[in-house]
Amino acid sequence: MGNQMTRVERIKAALYSQEVDRVPVDVWQHFSVEDQDPRSLAERQVEYTKKFDYDFIKLMPFGLYGVQDYGAKIKIFNQVEQPPIVEDGGIHDISDWGRLEVLPAYYGTYGKQVQMVQYVNKLTKGEFPYIQTVFSPLTNARKLAGDRILTDMKENPVLFKQALQVITDTTINFIKANIEAGVSGFFFATQCATTNFMTEEEYKEFGVPYDLQVINAYKDVTWFNVAHIHGNNAMFDLIEKYPVQCLSWHDRWGEPSLQEARTRTNKAFLAGIREIPYFQNGKKVRESLLVDGSIPEVKLHVFEALDQVDGKGILIGPGCVASQFSTDGNLHAVRSAVADYAVGNVGAKKIYPKAGIQKVPVFA
């Protein structure tokens, strides 16, 4: 595998399916105790990344940071595994979309997330690349108004698109401030590009044009850009065409699998870990492997993912946010698994026969 790489060298090589000394890894989770204070959140994320010797920081502003400034009432718990929720949306009538205005990056909750990045920059001192989480304009519209957007977009598409453009322009302002604060790239998340929620034709009209405006604002400036598709029945082939280096989706419980995805794109994958519980006949039979799995099970789980793509063009991470109840042992196991895999002769197919290690059952 050659000499030991720096984190930046390792990630850049993986993004372009080049040889790596070991596969890069990060297991991100919410930090819902600290995520309302920019400095505390920055310190917690850096501390966490150093503790488990991960390769980069997928920054974790709380998921509703893009809608609080637009009038959504947010209930905040400041408790482990209890991220903030929308207590009351910011849109109650279709006419409310017309009152949205473009916001500066340093305003309100958006501004706090910029401050968080500035703190991370000071704390990392170039040791870790870090990428900011941004949500698609349509996703933020949905968080602001709920599923009524499906009705509003049909009742008054002109007004709704005007609101989407406002949210897009605010997001671009935020992106520019993050670039100034030193991010290596962006984790662009869409929670609407799934046929469980809307049709592909609807997403092409109300999602894609605004997504591309956002991504085009940074694609030629930052080097580590990920597109994340949230939810099952994802519009993988549509989002795959976006100008990013890397794709993220729920590969361990949704479609496509890593192996299938490799036949459909040459882009890198940030994937491999099932972050949700296991179910059988609609009943939960166990939590996430990161919570109640054994260390051998977690390592096998990582080996299975790596085997699907022969360890090439992949960065190991969860399909979405990992539980805050993940054990230290299992979080360390993810990191040690990629190191073991780099040594060779430890792929899942080769170590299943070993006594005391059982293949993890896969349920729906």
In this prediction, residues 194-218 reach a mean pLDDT of 98
How high is the mean pLDDT of the chain?
Answer: 94
Check residue 343 and give its pLDDT. Answer: 83
Q: How confident is the model at residue 357 (pLDDT cuts 50, 70, 90)?
A: very low
Q: How confident is the model at residue 345 (pLDDT cuts 50, 70, 90)?
A: low
Domain boundaries along the sequence of the chain: 7-351
Asked whether 203 and 241 are in contact (CB, 8 A), the reply is no
Residue 362 has pLDDT above 50, yes or no: no
Check residue 344 and give its pLDDT. Answer: 74
Pick the CATH number of 7-351 from 3.20.20.210, 3.90.1200.10, 1.10.540.10, 3.40.710.10: 3.20.20.210
Check residue 80 and give its pLDDT. Answer: 96
Query: pLDDT tens for residues 277-304?
Result: 999 898 998 889 999 999 999 999 999 9
Residue 359 has pLDDT above 60, yes or no: no
Best CA proximity match to 105, nearest among 66, 133, 141: 66
Strand partners, 316: 25, 271
Query: pLDDT tens for residues 2-22?
Result: 589 999 999 999 999 999 999
In this prediction, residues 61-77 reach a mean pLDDT of 98
Percent of the chain with pLDDT over 70: 94
Query: pLDDT tens for residues 303-330?
Result: 999 999 999 999 999 999 999 999 999 9
Check residue 129 and give its pLDDT. Answer: 98
In this prediction, residues 229-233 reach a mean pLDDT of 95
Q: How confident is the model at residue 209 (pLDDT cuts 50, 70, 90)?
A: very high
Asked whether 267 and 240 are in contact (CB, 8 A), the reply is yes
Q: How confident is the model at residue 258 (pLDDT cuts 50, 70, 90)?
A: very high
Query: pLDDT tens for residues 22-39?
Result: 999 999 999 999 999 999
Q: Is the pTM of this model over 0.75?
A: yes
Q: CB pairs under 8 A, 24+ apart, for 106-109?
A: 106/177, 107/69, 108/68, 108/69, 109/65, 109/66, 109/68, 109/69
Residue 358 has pLDDT above 60, yes or no: no
Residue 138 has pLDDT above 90, yes or no: yes
Check residue 3 and give its pLDDT. Answer: 83
Check residue 355 and give its pLDDT. Answer: 37
Check residue 351 and give its pLDDT. Answer: 64
In this prediction, residues 230-256 reach a mean pLDDT of 97
Burial category of 301 from C-beta neighbours within 10 Å (exposed 0-12, middle 13-18, buried 19 and up): buried
Q: CB pairs under 8 A, 24+ apart, for 288-295?
A: 288/322, 288/323, 288/326, 289/330, 289/360, 290/27, 290/318, 290/322, 290/323, 290/326, 290/327, 290/330, 290/331, 290/334, 291/323, 291/325, 291/326, 291/327, 291/330, 293/330, 293/360, 295/329, 295/330, 295/333
Instruction: Output the CA–CA distances (angstroms, integers) from residue 282 to 48, 273, 278, 363, in the order listed.
Output: 34, 21, 9, 10
Query: pLDDT tens for residues 35-56?
Result: 999 999 999 999 999 999 999 9
Check residue 56 and give its pLDDT. Answer: 98
In this prediction, residues 169-198 reach a mean pLDDT of 98
